[in-house]
């Protein structure tokens, strides 16, 4: 690649996607420069990354953690400037010097920084699906208004993106002759568990995903199939299709990362080893291709590829997500907020695994979800949903 290196802000640098993004960047030192690295509160992990990458800025959401990082880096004589808080996250996402923003904060905490990058017209590599699930139409309108490039990092959406050569995010997939989007799901660690077994599973079991190495929240989402529900919503927005055009297919090996069925009967799929470095590298370099460092797929070693329908009785979160998308307004923001509260409670052993969809369903039933025209109003709905979900946790104990 000719020209000067791309300047990059990495939101959520210390997480699973963040560290894997840095692993890909390390293979291409001439191509990318890190402008800013950000995290929530893990300042020691961010400090180690700053020592390696020497970014212009390091940002922590947590002010106390930022103070510790600043003292630490000053003692080392580092040139990295340390900032704190949500406004600073938005600032480094929207800075003029930045070409590309990797949006990899977990949860609705990523809404404002990711939107700041979109509004500034950046090339946005979207891992933080919750930002799109929460703000939906507002998010896509901001993409259109600013001319930002939106590139999906989620492996399923990245696969669909690669199978839709005539369609970029924001354009209607139907216009390209698409009959169906087929989202694959691993089924998670409890795919074969009975309802009785699901009642006793622990957080340790839930975060041990059979194929992917991910952060704790998405690992639990994967176990409940809420992750697939959030992805269904994400796909509706990215490819401008209704939920009825999206089928979920359970594929336990996670080798085939999603498919597109066309009107003529052709089905295109993208395959690879289950390694997020592949979609990260694809999104970073698109439309060029770069080495990701991911293990290569060896067809001669594949024992087989299996497919089955998802079981929405044992895993009702997928149905709840589809219904929230169909309901419209801010129902998907309510769904997401309730799920974040429930998953945190499960990880904290304050809620059992089957309680997660119960809290989500009851919150959806109780919280008004009007259509909103600005982010503050959406975040007020998010806050109301969190209060209702939290009250239900208290009522269950």
* Residues lying near ligand NDP in the complex (CB under 6 A): 12-18, 39-42, 45, 61, 104-106, 109, 127-130, 154, 212, 214-215, 217-218, 276
Angle formed at CA 130 by CA 126 and CA 133, multiple of 5 degrees = 100
Nearer to ligand NDP, 176 or 347 (CB): 347
Q: Where are the beta strands (DSSP E) in 199-245?
A: none
Centre a 10 Å sphere on the Cβ of residue 44 and count the other Cβ atoms it contains.
12
- CA quadruple 148, 153, 155, 158: dihedral positive or negative? positive
Q: How many helices (H) does the chain have, and how many strands (E)?
A: 16, 11
* Residue 325 Cβ vs ligand NDP, minimum distance, rounded to whole Å: 17
Q: Which residues are CB-neighbours of 325 under 8 A, at least 6 positions away?
A: 232, 233, 236, 243, 331, 332
* Residue 173 Cβ vs ligand NDP, minimum distance, rounded to whole Å: 20
* Residue 105 Cβ vs ligand NDP, minimum distance, rounded to whole Å: 4
Nearer to ligand NDP, 49 or 392 (CB): 49
DSSP reduced 3-state for 59 = strand
Query: How far is Cα 254 from Cα 270, in angstroms, rounded to an integer?
Result: 11
Q: For 124, phi and psi rounded to 5 degrees?
A: -110, 120
Query: How far is Cα 214 from Cα 82, in angstroms, rounded to an integer?
Result: 27
* Residue 397 Cβ vs ligand NDP, minimum distance, rounded to whole Å: 25
Nearer to ligand NDP, 38 or 392 (CB): 38
Nearer to ligand NDP, 18 or 316 (CB): 18
Residue nearest to ligand NDP (CB): 15
Please measure the distance between the N-terminal and C-terminal CA atoms of the chain and give it in whole angstroms: 59
* Residue 20 Cβ vs ligand NDP, minimum distance, rounded to whole Å: 7
* Residue 39 Cβ vs ligand NDP, minimum distance, rounded to whole Å: 4
Nearer to ligand NDP, 213 or 373 (CB): 213
Nearer to ligand NDP, 172 or 205 (CB): 205
Strand pairing category for 178-185 and 256-262: antiparallel
* Residue 33 Cβ vs ligand NDP, minimum distance, rounded to whole Å: 20
Nearer to ligand NDP, 12 or 316 (CB): 12
- CA quadruple 119, 123, 128, 134: dihedral positive or negative? positive
């Amino acid at each position: 690649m000719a020209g000067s290196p791309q300047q990059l802000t990495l939101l959520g640098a210390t997480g699973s996607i963040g560290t894997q993004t840095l692993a890909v960047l390390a293979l291409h030192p001439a191509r990318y420069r890190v402008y800013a690295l950000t995290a929530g509160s893990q300042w020691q992990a961010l400090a180690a990354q700053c020592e390696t990458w020497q970014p212009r800025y390091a940002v922590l959401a947590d002010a106390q953690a930022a103070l510790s990082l600043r003292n630490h880096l000053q003692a080392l004589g580092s040139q990295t400037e340390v900032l704190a808080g949500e406004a600073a996250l938005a600032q480094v996402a929207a800075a003029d010097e930045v070409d590309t923003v990797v949006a990899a904060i977990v949860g609705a905490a990523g809404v404002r920084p990711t939107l700041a990058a979109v509004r500034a017209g950046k090339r946005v590599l979207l891992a933080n699906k919750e930002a799109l699930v929460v703000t939906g139409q507002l998010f896509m309108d901001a993409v259109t208004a600013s001319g930002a490039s939106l590139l999906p990092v989620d492996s399923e959406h990245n696969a669909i993106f690669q199978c839709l050569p005539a369609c970029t995010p924001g354009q209607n997939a139907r216009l390209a002759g698409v009959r169906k989007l087929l989202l694959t799901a691993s089924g998670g660690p409890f795919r074969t568990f009975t309802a009785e077994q699901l009642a006793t599973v622990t957080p340790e079991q839930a975060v041990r995903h059979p194929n992917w190495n991910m952060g704790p929240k998405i690992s639990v989402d994967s176990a409940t199939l809420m992750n697939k529900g959030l992805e269904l919503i994400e796909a509706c927005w990215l490819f401008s299709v209704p939920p009825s055009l999206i089928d979920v297919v359970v594929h336990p090996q996670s080798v085939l990362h999603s498919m597109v069925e066309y009107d003529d009967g052709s089905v295109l799929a993208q395959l690879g080893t289950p390694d997020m470095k592949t979609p990260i590298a694809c999104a970073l370099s698109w439309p060029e291709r770069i080495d990701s460092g991911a293990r290569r797929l060896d067809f001669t070693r594949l024992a087989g590829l299996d497919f089955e329908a998802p079981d929405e009785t044992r895993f009702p979160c997928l149905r709840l997500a589809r219904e929230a998308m169909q309901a419209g307004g801010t129902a998907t923001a309510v769904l997401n907020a309730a799920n974040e509260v429930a998953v945190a409670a499960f990880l904290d052993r304050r809620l059992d695994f089957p309680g997660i969809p119960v809290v989500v369903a009851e919150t959806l039933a109780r919280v008004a979800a009007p259509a909103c025209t600005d982010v503050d109003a959406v975040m007020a709905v998010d806050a109301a949903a969190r209060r209702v979900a939290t009250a239900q946790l208290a009522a269950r104990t």
